A = this chain, B = another copy of it.
Amino acid sequence: METDRTTQADYLKALAHPTRIMILELLEREGRCVTNIGEKLNLKQSNISQHLGILRSRGILSLQREGGLSIYCIKDPSALKILKMVRKA
């Protein structure tokens, strides 16, 4: 049950960044590791890692370790639905 507006705002804030939107679009099809995302988006490793951390801390992404890699996947599909609505808005 999610009625606290601060929590709602924090969730929206997590989505409200161009890089994080691109990350979500990139992960829509398949999970990816940090380096791969960094290459696709042409951004620094630490920056990507920070954005991934933000999305994960809000429960939007999940992380699983595979070998030496950190694979991030979309955990919360409603984030994608919201982005879809924003595109039409």
Contacts and interface: CB of A to CB of B under 8 A. Distances in A.
Contacts of A6: 18
A85 to B, nearest CB: 5
Interface residues of A, number: 28
Contacts of A13: 12-13, 16
Interface in A71-87: 76, 78-79, 81-83, 85-87
Interface string A51-89: 000000000000000000000000010110111011111
A39 interface: no
Interface of A: 2-3, 5-6, 8-13, 15-18, 20-22, 76, 78-79, 81-83, 85-89
